[in-house]
C-alpha cells in the first residue's frame, strides 16, 4: 500500500516541525458554496460533497519547498490515507474551469491532477526501471493517442499522452508493485481515461522526485 499525498505531507511537516502532527492540523472547509475562514485566511469552498482538504499556509510552504506540491495548490482530495496499485480518486464536481497541471512524484509514487490549483484526481503510478528511468522535469503534452500500441515493445498503451519525442508518455498500464515501465508513467487504465479526457495538448506535466527530511527520519519511499 502507498501513503496518500495528505499522509506524505503530514510526515514531512511533522519532521520539519520536530514532532508528530495529527490530522486535526488540516482544516476542512465547510462544503457550502461560500467563503470561509481557515486558520485566519479566507478561502472559497468549491465542493458540495466534503471531499477536499485545505492546507494551512505553513503546510503549503513546507510541501512546495519539499517538492510534494506545485506552487498555487489550493486544495487536495481526501483519501483514506492509503492507496493500493490500481486505486484512484477523481472528484471534479464544483471545481471551476482553470489551468490543468499534472504533478508526478517518483518518490511517493503518486500522480496528482490539478485544475486551477484544486486537486481533481490522484492515483498510484508505476514508472521507469533503474535501467530506463523516467525523466525529471517539466514537459508539455505533445500528442494524445486513445488507442496507441507500442511497436518497440509490442504492448498496448491506452490513453497515451506523449511528453517527449523519445517515446515517454503517461498511459494506461497494468498495475503492480513489482512492475516497472521503460521510462513511461503508467496509470490505472480508467484513471488514464479521465486524465486523457481532461488534458489538452500543451498542458504541463511536472515529473519530480521529492526530497524531504521525512526520508532521513524513517519514512520510506514508495516502492521500498
Tell me if 137 is assigned to some domain: yes
pLDDT one-digit tens code per residue, 11-52: 444 443 332 222 222 223 333 333 333 333 444 444 445 788
> What distance in Å separates the CA atoms of residue 123 and residue 126, rounded to the nearest whole number?
10
Tell me which of 212 and 195 has the higher pLDDT.
195
In angstroms, the CA 111 to CA 44 distance is: 24
Residue 128 DSSP one-character state = B
Using the structure block, give the residue that is written with the C-alpha cell 515517454: 168
- 108: containing domain: 2-216
| Contact (CB, 8 A) for 192 and 88 | no
The two beta strands, 41-44 and 143-150, are unpaired
If one counts the domains in the chain, the total is 1
Q: Is 65 helix (H, G, I), strand (E, B) or coil?
A: helix
Q: What is the CATH number of the domain that holds 101?
A: 2.40.440.10
| Residue 135 within a domain | yes
Higher pLDDT among residues 159 and 66, named by residue: 159
Is 154 part of a structural domain of the chain?
yes
**Predicted TM-score of the model (pTM):** 0.74
Residue 221 inside a domain? The answer is: no
- Phi first, then psi, for residue 54 (nearest 5°) are -110, 130
Amino acid at each position: 500500500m502507498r501513503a496518500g499525498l495528505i499522509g506524505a505531507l503530514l510526515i514531512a511537516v511533522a519532521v520539519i516541525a520536530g514532532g508528530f502532527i495529527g490530522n486535526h492540523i488540516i482544516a476542512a472547509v465547510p462544503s457550502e458554496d461560500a467563503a470561509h475562514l481557515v486558520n485566519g485566511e479566507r478561502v472559497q469552498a468549491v465542493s458540495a460533497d466534503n471531499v477536499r482538504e485545505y492546507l494551512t499556509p505553513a503546510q503549503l510552504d513546507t510541501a512546495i519547498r519539499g517538492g510534494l506540491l506545485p506552487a498555487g495548490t489550493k486544495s487536495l482530495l481526501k483519501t483514506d490515507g492509503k492507496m493500493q496499485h490500481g486505486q484512484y480518486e477523481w472528484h471534479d464536481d464544483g471545481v471551476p474551469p482553470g489551468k490543468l497541471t499534472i504533478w508526478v512524484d517518483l518518490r511517493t509514487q503518486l500522480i496528482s491532477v490539478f485544475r486551477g490549483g484544486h486537486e481533481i484526481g490522484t492515483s498510484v503510478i508505476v514508472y521507469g526501471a533503474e535501467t530506463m528511468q523516467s525523466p525529471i522535469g517539466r514537459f508539455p503534452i505533445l500528442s494524445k493517442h486513445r488507442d496507441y500500441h507500442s511497436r518497440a515493445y509490442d504492448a498496448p498503451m491506452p490513453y497515451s499522452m506523449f511528453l517527449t519525442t523519445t517515446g515517454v508518455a503517461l498511459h494506461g498500464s497494468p498495475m503492480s508493485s513489482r512492475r516497472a515501465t521503460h521510462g513511461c508513467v503508467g496509470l490505472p487504465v480508467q484513471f488514464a481515461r479521465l486524465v486523457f479526457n481532461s488534458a489538452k495538448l500543451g498542458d504541463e506535466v511536472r515529473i519530480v522526485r521529492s526530497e524531504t527530511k521525512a526520508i532521513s527520519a524513517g519514512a520510506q519511499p514508495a516502492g521500498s
